[in-house]
A = this chain, B = another copy of it.
Amino acid sequence: MPAKPKLPTLDDVAKAAGVSTATVSRCLNAPDRVVKATKDRVLAEVARLGYTPNFGARAMAAKRTFTVGAIIPTMDNAIFARGLQAFQEQLHERGYTLLVSSTSYRPEIEAEQVRTLVARGADGVLLIGYDRDAAIYEYLASRSVPTLIAWAYDKENPQPSVGFDNRASMQALAQLVWDHGHRRIGVISGTTQGNDRARRRLEGLRDVFAQNGLPHEALKVIETPYGVKNGGIAFAKLMAGDMPPSVVMCGNDVLAVGAVRRAHLMKLDVPRDVSITGFDDIELARIVSPPLTTVHVPHRKMGRAAANALIDMVETDSIGPFPPLQSKIRMRASLADINGNVTGTPDP
């Protein structure tokens, strides 16, 4: 790579534009909050001088970088996409830029990405769910980087979070399934190891069926990584016995879509032959046929609330607690009662 030219400094820009270094920093990082005439003058000098803010200069000038990091388990499957998009839009409103990393559900990659984001100067970090090595939390605390959990809410856990109660949400759906008369239950759960959202959902479901006195052997659970194909494979396994379940409850909509598609291939009518439920209410849930009865997660609301909470943590040392968000059940056509009658609407 060719040698880089000697770099102009924040001071050079500030002097040329006749403003303070803090104003230059703000023009670059939170331009919405600077008067247009000032901003135009500063940005003209930035362009003329070819100034690139660097970590040290900005940190000195503004005590922060106006950059926030988020680490999500996957960019695929759109599970986190909608909430993250709203998170980013709200960060932008408040003058921050979002940098995202995805772990492919591999904890050792998350640790590496946390280090990278801290090294790149992130003012705060958003993580999904609670489950991770304590060393990661200790590391972030030792570096004084505000850290917010999203997609989960557990009032027992002291870590600040903006999310919903995965266990209670799945309890509500399981009770609905029970009330529809189902007594042979198949479950396709996401991998629970290292994933508190998946584990809480499965616990919520077990809670309800146990409370209602369902015999242990009437509940069949398969765990599998999230994915359309995996949902289909697990569904075929659950349906293979001579007493197949009348309903298959899935840990998320992606698994449920895989189950519905496999049911079609197996010439099973959903929901007359077998009901299928999801979780998340992502766009897929309405596009698959029949549309899924599922738990609606307020993705966009959660994303915006998380952005505000994390910025408050960065700017005002807020440590929460932040109010939990409410999920709700979306009744659609993939759940019938035990006699095959559908009570959900086809396309709400």
Binding site for B on A (CB under 8 A): 1-2, 4-5, 28, 31, 47, 50, 52-56, 58, 65, 67, 69, 74-78, 80-82, 84-85, 88-89, 92, 97-102, 104, 109, 112-113, 115-121, 135, 139, 142-144, 146, 228, 257, 261, 265, 283-284, 286-289, 314, 317, 347
Contacts and interface: CB of A to CB of B under 8 A. Distances in A.
A81 B85 contact: no
Contacts of A121: 55, 120
B85 A76 contact: yes
A97 B101 contact: yes
Contacts of A120: 55, 65, 67, 99, 120-121
B67 A74 contact: no
Nearest to A118: B52
A127 to B, nearest CB: 15
A289 B143 CA distance: 51
Contact of A228 (B28, B117, B283): B283
A85 B104 contact: yes
Given A78-B78, A78-B81, A92-B109, A67 B289 contact: no
A56 B54 CA distance: 9
A50 B143 CA distance: 8
Contacts of A65: 119-120
A74 B85 contact: yes
A81 B92 contact: no
B99 A85 contact: no
A144 B97 contact: no
Contacts of A257: 287
12 contacts: A47-B135, A52-B119, A53-B115, A75-B84, A75-B88, A85-B104, A88-B101, A97-B112, A97-B116, A98-B101, A99-B99, A265-B347
Contacts of A77: 78, 81, 283
Given A1-B317, A283-B228, A119 B76 contact: no
A53 B142 contact: no
A76 B67 contact: no
B97 A100 contact: no
A62 to B, nearest CB: 12
Contacts of A286: 261
Nearest to A143: B52
Nearest to A78: B78
Contact of A75 (B55, B81, B119, B284): B81
